[in-house]
Amino acid sequence: MCLVHDRVIWGDSSGCEFFLWAAVSSCGDYFCTAVYRKVCDIQGCGSSLCAQTVQMVLVDGIFDVRGFLLNILWVLLGTGMVLLWQMLAKKNRFVRYLIRMILILSGLVLLTVVCAFGIYHVMRVNGKLNLQNNISQTENRMENEDSDLIWYNGKAYQYNKDLITILVMGIDQNSKEIEQIEGVSGQADSIFLLVIDEDKKKVRVIGMSRDTMTAIKTFDYKGNYVGDSENHLGLAYAFGDGKETSCQYMVDAVSNLFYGIPVNSYIALNMEAVEELNDSVGGVTVTIPDELAKINPSFKAGSTVTLQGEQALSFIRSRDTKTDFSNNLRMARQKTYLVKFVQTAIKQIKMDPGLPARLYKELSGKMVTDIDLNDAVYLATKGVSVSFGEEDILTVPGEARKGTVYDEMYVDEKALYELILNTFYNDVSAGEGAR
């Protein structure tokens, strides 16, 4: 019995331990003894993590009949190897030592696989723990001091603690990498809140217009904070340093817009990174809308195209700035692209599980994020098992108006409040009764 991460794992190492002990005692060779001693230093931990990892994948780490049978398999394997080892004692010396060496090498390979699974499992566990922190510095205006319930239209709502929320931003800097430039850091051109429900295995994406008028931190030309003011949401990034500070300003602005809803992490990507992301999954197939064909003659309206490289960037970024509310048309294209990209990416990750880790390293210079490799591994394992469709992409409701200089979007507060309840809260009215 072994206790790992506050969970009791039964019989997870006895089989491997029995196998290695038998191998050494039968061989009696000094080399094997040395290998045994070294291997056993990591064997107990490795085999425990292996069993736990498989249990995590198959039975979510909860002991039941399947988990019990899984661990018995280790014991049967060890017993079988012991019997085989002893039978070899009757063979001639050359055959005996040859097969024993093969068995020893097989054991070392097995331990390597066990340790690999163990590292993978530790990364998943650490990633999950990291993603449970709220990084927003905004007061939660949805909370009730007297109760954790929110009553609305006769229904009781309770915050869903199984959610992970990640703010995703596309930055419009004209450079290959995200640069740290105080006061001229570019704007958040595309803004999405990714909401992952681990329990329901569901993902929702809430899109926000960069023109959304909301309270953001404001600074004078010397960089002095002068208070919050109503301005375009995308400008919150520009007041920072182009790195972590800019991202924190955006996190706080979005959280404040959503009545203080927790935000667990952020990713700010240079728009140029879209080309790499697109090509990493083999391209994304879309239908070209009429308004894009008018802006970019290289596209033919109504045609079906598998976007490659610069085509993908043009599809999600292009807009006619001379046309009022052109950002709304662009957001509609981004919604279409996002659905197709996620569906394509899930298929690719299933065929190539190492893809997320490689992309994380390759895009490091083109993004700013508080998500580390552990978090990325955890999110990838969750991502391949979730459902996601066009109906899961939502938009902050509001009315677009022509401003003095730029377009402005004013939020419908009642509709936004209901969107928050339906996305971030569970209806628990049945357990509370009418009110």
Could you report the per-residue pLDDT of 1-24, keeping only the tens digit for each?
A: 343 333 333 333 433 433 333 333
CA 86 vs CA 22, 27, 29: distances in Å: 9, 10, 15
Of 57-61, 111-115, 150-154, where does the model show the most confidence?
150-154
What distance in Å separates the CA atoms of residue 181 and residue 171, rounded to the nearest whole number? 13
Higher-confidence position of 203 and 432: 203
Q: Which residues contact 63 (CB under 8 A, 6 or more apart)?
A: 8, 9, 10, 55
Q: What percent of the chain has pLDDT over 90?
A: 34
Instruction: State residue 374's pLDDT score.
Output: 76
**pLDDT 10s digits, 337-374:** 988 998 898 888 888 878 888 888 888 888 899 988 77
DSSP code per residue over 210-246: TTBEEEEEEE-TTS-EEEEEEEETTHHHHTS-SSHHH
What distance in Å separates the CA atoms of residue 432 and residue 420, rounded to the nearest whole number? 20
Reported pTM: 0.69
| Contact criterion met (CB below 8 Å) for 50 and 120 | no
Taking only Cα atoms into account, the Rg of the chain, rounded to an integer number of angstroms, comes to: 28
Q: Which of 16-25, 127-136, 142-151 has the lowest mean pLDDT?
A: 16-25
**pLDDT 10s digits, 222-243:** 778 888 999 999 999 998 888 8
| Contact criterion met (CB below 8 Å) for 258 and 138 | no
What average pLDDT does the chain have? Answer: 76
CA 214 vs CA 226, 318, 382, 435: distances in Å: 16, 25, 33, 33
pLDDT higher than threshold 70 for residue 70: no
**pLDDT 10s digits, 75-125:** 666 666 666 666 666 666 666 677 777 777 877 777 676 666 555 555 555
Neighbours of 101 (CB within 10 A): 14
Longest Cα–Cα distance in the chain: 95
State both tokens at 70: 């899984």
pLDDT higher than threshold 60 for residue 131: yes
Q: Which residues contact 376 (CB under 8 A, 6 or more apart)?
A: 127, 356, 357, 360
